[in-house]
Each structure stands twice: as structure tokens, then as C-alpha cells.
Amino acid sequence: MKNEWTQAWLAYEKREEKGNGAYFASVAVNGFDTENVVVQSALKELKKGIKGMLDAEPMMADKATFVMKKDFALNAEGYTLTETDGVLTLAAGGENGLLYGVFEVLRRIAMEKSLQGVSVNAAPDCPLRMLNHWDNMDNSIERGYSGESFFFEDNEVVVNDRTVDYARLAASVGINGVVINNVNVKQAASYLITDRYYAKVAEMAKVFADYGIKFFMSLNYASTIEIGGMNSADPLDPEVISWWEKKIAECYANIPNLGGFLVKADSEGRPGPFTYGRTQADGANMLADIIKPYGGIIIWRCFVYNCQQDWRDYKTDRARAGYDNFIEMDGDYHENVILQIKNGPMDFQIREPISPLLGGLKKTNQMLEVQVAQEYTGHQIDVCYLMPMFKEVLDFKTYCSEKNDCVKDIISGKTLGNTNTGIAAVINTGNDKNWTGNDLAAANFYGFGRLGFDTELSSEEIAEEWIRLTFGNDPQVIEKVMGILLPSRATYEKYTSPLGIGWMVTPHVHYGCSVDGYEYSRWGTYHRADHLGIGVDRSHNGTGYALQYHEPNASMYDSMETCPEELLLFFHHVPYTYVLKSGKTLIQHIYDTHFEGVEEVEKMIAAWESLKEKIAPEVYDNVSERFGRQLTNAREWRDQVNSYFYRKSGIPDEKGRQIW
């Protein structure tokens, strides 16, 4: 019976052979235990893919045209793929490397690339490549825009064929870690680490283990209170420590392949070490020391700030919070603790600077957190291909050392020589038939995995791969969909938030324009616009946030003249009459970009409509309906933002367009 959900980029539909079929007449496996679950998954995937795309069925043989062998000289997750004299050889350092190598073979076949003469040497750049799910046990998903959870339903854990397909999709792009539940752990999810759920959780962990993926859970830091019947969660309290020792031993007795826990504490009403006058390191290290004998790690989120700050005090700055709360503890965290740091200092805006903690910390394991779920970037209604943003983050030069000082170096371990590092994404999947709500949003899931494995891949390469694997190899489809995806982040930025100011969204919902709508607007507007200008002064004369960076970044951001214009309003309060490098005034730039954004959405729609006869009707209709909503959204942003700033500034559009 056909699944009720799609297979996304693993559909394995018929492809032109390009001479590849001959390599799969016979297959040999040398040096690997064929009873190993990951090896078995690799072989199953190979057979499934070759059958679907080439209509062939590989046969096992001692002397073969496709040889898979173990090479201890390679990284455990690395592989080489070579072809010589009609024999295709996949060598891998370990079972995960073998699995990733098989997906490399299948990817090339799907893209109709000849395997003759192929020579690939691959190993992951980031040691841990993780998906963070914000799924709740009532089957809702916080910031979920693709339906409900397929992990939970009515406070029960669900394990079925969809779980397996999800593990396949994740492994196919190199994911090796998954957190199944929301970082904002509600009381029901606290019970995941109790007898009620252990059996089902262990069953799910086994599914992911079959595809080389470590299983993690988000942990309620106050579990001693929530489920332990205690009145304290003080990390230095011997009774609290004793409770956790027993609980973690119990977890590993029931879930032996548990990778560890993700923890959010002391933020947005979450209890944490600060509640008891302790440091973040005290809390993280207490758990890390207990879990260490089991080989587990603690991933500690750095999203810590006071949501009740008085924004009327212009020296108060949420952007400073991450750095201020963690920099003084650099070096205090134990080896099996990783600090998970959001890409920007705020909250997944379409444009914000790179967090100064990335590179600011010089003695601590660091992990980059990005958001694939489009909380502030269109809710998977508006097309917003995020790889250009992620590339900017990874390539950012922090100046934290004389060499290997880019963010991608820090999270790969090159900078500090450490291995407990990596990259995580708040992922965008749900139980919608196509996994991601908008079919085009799947490019962000695919792209995150590929970029985490190989940080040197370009946004263009990743987009083309995904299009070919998803829609086939028709040149017109590739050209048109590439033309939609690649500029879409810039387009979204144009019709929403100018020059790094961010926010201006409907409170709590985070979709649709509300210029003064930041959640904590009772303390004043976030963008701090008045009749003379707009923006937040984060220079040495303002909140001082710019000085949290290493030089020369600090001086660059501190000056209005040298600050990159795409971040100008993030760092400075700028007059509407200020002249940008384009020769336009700031206010004219705001007007023009908001009109341009709408026009670009209209061009995207026209490009998509030109593919009606080449795209499956269900997919075509899904994307078309989303484009209709995106156009409405873009027009509303244009009209509300332009009208707002016209009324604030009193300066008309020099092009004479109607400003509502």
C-alpha cells in the first residue's frame, strides 16, 4: 500500500541510466559486518534506489562491479568513491560513512551524472549535525508550519513507517543527531524519562540508530520538582544530584543508545541555575558529570535573557544578553558540555549580525543553532530559501585567532582542536503529506543537512541538487525553480524589515506586519523610530553591544560610516535623510525596497506558473496556493511599513507612488 506521505527527495523515480546500470549487476561488501544495523540500512537503501531509478536488482557476489569496503584510514563518517576499469569502489571508515557513501551514489544517479571516472573524497565538517524538534506530546508543534507532530499523539509516543522514512531523509543528507521534543519542555514531556514511556522511546531510538543517528531528548531542568516531588533544582544540592544520578542511570538502562540531553534554562520563564544563585556552568556541569560515564553529552542552549526588561531604558539591550551571561564562564564548562548558540544575538530574524559568542568563547565547546522552521521568515507560506543566510553565518570571520577563525572553523573543531562541536537546526517538518507544508520549503531541510556535512557547498549547488532529486532533470524546471529559490531570502527581506531592524511582526504569531508589534512593546517600540530616524544605537555611545566583537569587527560595527548597510539599523539610530551608498536617502530606500519586494514576488509567481505542465498537479497547486498568500502578505507589509514611516517622517516618496 502506498504511503500517505511523499518520499520527498528520496522518491527514486526512473532516471536515464547514463551508463550507470552496469556497475550494479553485482555488489560485494568487504570488511563490514553485514549484520550491523547501519550496514543493513545502507544495503536496503541501495537496493531500493537502484530498483526505482535504474530498474535493476543488485546481486551479492564475491567478485563484483560495485565494491563496498572498510578503510580504517578514513574518518568514521567519511568515504571515498572511485571508479576504475569498470569497477565502482566505495570505501568508508565506518558504518555511517558507508551509509553516506551509498546516498552519494544514489544522489549522482538521481541527478543523471555518470559514475565513470568518479573520484570523491568526503568527510563531514561538523562532528555533530543535529535536528532540533519543537514537538509537544499533545501532537502540536511550537513554531510548526507543516501540520502536527508525527512523533507524538494524544500524549503517546508514535513509532511507525513514517518514523523510518524520516530517519532515511535525515541520514540521506548526513544528519547524525535528533532531539525529538520541544526545548520548552511541558510537564507531559517531562514524563518521557519515566517508566510510562521508556519502552516506546527506546523503540524510536532504535529506528534512528538503524540510520546512524544519535537520539537525544530535551530535558526539563526542573525535573526534580516536576516529576521528582522535590522542592528544589539547585545544581549544587546533594539531594538534587543524587536524584539525577538515579534518573540518568535509569534512562540509560532503558535507552542504551541515548546520546544525551538538550537543555534550555533561565529564559522565558524557564527555571534554571540562576534561580538558585548558581551559574549556567554549575547547572550544565552537574548533569554532564553524571552522564559522562555513559558517553552522553549535555547541550546547553545560550538563549538566556530577561524578557521583562524595560525597553524604555535605551541602555537595556536584549542583544547583549547571550554574551553577557556566558562570556565570564568561558573555560568553566566540562568537556562533554556543548553550548548551543543561535546564529544571531536576537531570535532568528531575516537579518541580524552573527552572535559575538561565536568566537568570543575561546575555551568552550560551541555549537551553532539555526532555524529551518521559518518562524520569522515566512512560516513556510512565503518562499525563503535560507542557505544564503546560513552561508553568511558559516563564512563570517570572527578574528578569534590568527587562522581558522570563521564560524565554520569554530563549529568544526578546527579553531580549538575539539570534537564536541557541531551545528543544529530547529527543523521544519510535520505530518503534512509533503513533510514541510510548502513543497519548496523542503529545500531548507535538505540544504541544512548538506551544508552541515560540507560547509564549502554553495547555495547554488545545494539548490540544484534538491531540485534535480525532487523534480527531475528538466532544464527549464531547474532554471525556473533556481530563479525562485536563490533570491527569495533577499526578496523577503525587502518587503519586511529594512537594513537589519528586524521584528515588526504580529506579536506571538510572528507572521504578518505589525510595525509596533514586538511582544514586549509595552516597554516601547523595538525599532525605536521617531520623527527624525529609526534604529537602535548599539555603538559605544548606546548600548555598547558593538564592542562585544573582536577587532576589527567591533570598530566596523561601532561606526555608522563603516557599518555594513544591511545591518545599519541594527547598530545605529539613523536619520531618514541619511544618504546610503546607493545615493538614496534612508527613507527612500525603505519605500523602494518594499515596492521591489512585491514586484519580485509577482515575478516568482509568473515563473512558477510557467511550469504548470511540468510539475505534478498536487505539488503545483500546493505551491501556487502558498504564493497567493505570500503576495497578500508582501502587499500588506509594503503598505503598512511605507505608510507608517511616511507618517513618522513626513517625507513623501520621491517617485510619487501612493503610500497608503
Residues annotated as part of the active site: 268, 347, 375
> Residue 25 CB: number of other CB atoms within 10 A?
14
CB 326 within 8 A of CB 284: no
Cα 303 to Cα 25, 127, 163: the distances in Å are 53, 22, 29
Q: How far apart are CA 315 and CA 317, in angstroms?
A: 6
Query: What's the 3-state SS for 66-97?
Result: EEEEECCCCCCCCEEEEEECCEEEEEECCHHH
Cα separation, 620 vs 611, whole angstroms:
8
**Could you tell me the three cell numbers for 290?**
553524571
Which H helix or E strand runs over 27? Answer: strand 26-30
DSSP alpha helix (H) spans, 33-141: 37-54, 95-110
- Do 102 and 50 touch, CB atoms closer than 8 A? no
**Distance separating alpha carbons of residues 601 and 522, to the nearest angstrom:** 34
DSSP string covering 506-546, please? -TTT--SB-TT--TTGGG--SS---SSEE----STTTT-GG
CA distances from 99 to 5, 78, 421, 456 (A): 23, 10, 22, 21
Contact 151, 134 (CB under 8 A): no
C-alpha cell at 555: 570598530
